[in-house]
Chain A
Amino acid sequence: MDNNPAMKTLDSAVEKYGGKKEALLSIMHEIQKAQGSISEDSARYLSQKLDIPVSQVFSAATFYRAFSTEPRGKHHIKVCTGTSCYLRASEKIFERIGRELNIAGEGASEDGEFSVEKVRCMGCCNAGPVMAIDEQICEDVSAGKIPDLPKQEIIGEMTHRKATTVIKKYREDK
Chain B
Amino acid sequence: MPQLTIDGKQITAPVGATILQVARENGIDIPTFCHHEALEPWGACRLCIVEVDEGSRTRLVTSCNFPVKEGLAVTTKNKSIIAIRKMIIELLLTRCPNAQAVRQMADKLGVTGTRFPIENEFCILCGMCVRVCKEIVGAQAISFASRGGNKKVASPFFKRSGDCIGCGACVYVCPTQCITMNDVTEATDVYAEGTEQVGYARVMNNWRTRLPLKVCKSCGNPIAPEFQLQVLGKKAGLAPDALDLCQGCKE
- Asked if B147 is at the interface (CB within 8 A of a chain A CB), the reply is yes
CB distance from A121 to the nearest CB of B (A): 14
Q: Is B143 an interface residue (CB 8 A)?
A: yes
Q: Which residues of A contact B157 (CB under 8 A)?
A: 40, 43, 54, 58, 69
Q: In whole Å, how far is B179's beta carbon from the nearest beta carbon of chain A?
A: 15
Closest Cβ of chain B to A52, distance in Å, is: 9
Those of A43-75 within 8 Å (CB) of chain B: 43-44, 53-59, 62-63, 69
- Interface residues of B, count at CB 8 A: 17
Binary per-residue interface labels of chain A (127-148) against chain B in the complex, 1 for a CB within 8 Å, 0 otherwise: 0000000000000000000000
**A54-B162, A55-B140, A55-B163 as given contacts; A63 in contact with B156, CB under 8 Å:** no
Q: Which residues of B contact A57 (CB under 8 A)?
A: 156
Whether B163 pairs with A54 at a CB distance below 8 angstroms is yes
Across the interface, A58 reaches (CB within 8 A) one of B139, B143, B147, namely B143
**SS class, residues of chain A in contact with chain B:** helix
Closest to A53 in B: B140
B140 to A, closest residue via Cβ: A53
- B247 on the interface (CB 8 Å rule)? no
Q: Classify chain A: how many residues form its interface, as a range.
A: 10 to 19
Say whether B156 contacts A55, CB under 8 Å.
yes
Does any Cβ of A come within 8 Å of B75's Cβ?
Answer: no
- Which residue of chain A lies nearest to B145 when distances are taken between CB atoms in the complex? A62
Q: Is the CB of A63 within 8 A of B144?
A: yes
**B196-237: contact bitstring with A at CB < 8 Å (1 yes, 0 no)?**
000000000000000000000000000000000000000000
Say if the beta carbon of B141 comes within 8 Å of chain A: yes
Measured between C-beta atoms, what is the minimum distance from A81 to chain B in Å? 13
> Is A55 a contact of B146 with CB atoms below 8 Å?
no
List the A residue with the shortest CB-CB distance to B154.
A58
Interface: B161 (CB within 8 A): yes
- Residues of B146-182 at the interface with A, using a CB-CB cut-off of 8 Å, are 146-147, 154-157, 159, 161-163
B142 touches A63 (CB 8 A): no
Highest count of chain B CB atoms <10 Å: which of A43, A59, A69: A59
Q: A58-B156, A58-B157, A69-B157 are in contact. Are A53 and B144 (CB under 8 A)?
A: no
Once the chains bind, are B145 and A58 in contact (CB under 8 Å)? Answer: yes
Q: Name the distance in Å between A129's Cβ and chain B's nearest Cβ.
A: 21
Expressed in whole angstroms, the minimum distance between the Cβ of B221 and any Cβ of chain A is 32
Q: How far is the CB of A75 from chain B (nearest CB, A)?
A: 24
Which residue of chain A has the shortest Cβ distance to B133 in the bound complex? A55
Contact B162 A59 (CB under 8 A): no
A-side contacts of B155, CB under 8 Å: 55
Contacts of A44 in B (CB 8 A): 156
Contact partners of B161 in chain A: CB under 8 A: 54-55
Minimum CB–CB distance from A24 to chain B (whole Å) comes to 13
Nearest chain A CB to B69 CB, angstrom units: 33
For residue B159, which residues in chain A have a CB less than 8 angstroms away from its CB? 40
Residues of B within 8 A of A (CB): 139-147, 154-157, 159, 161-163
Contact sample, A vs B, 23 pairs, CB 8 Å cutoff: A40-B156, A40-B157, A40-B159, A43-B156, A43-B157, A44-B156, A53-B140, A53-B141, A54-B162, A55-B140, A55-B141, A55-B155, A56-B143, A58-B143, A58-B154, A58-B157, A59-B144, A59-B145, A62-B145, A62-B147, A63-B144, A63-B145, A63-B147
List 15 additional contacts besides A43-B156, A55-B156; criterion CB under 8 Å: A40-B157, A44-B156, A53-B139, A54-B162, A54-B163, A55-B142, A55-B155, A55-B163, A56-B140, A58-B145, A58-B156, A59-B144, A59-B145, A62-B147, A63-B144
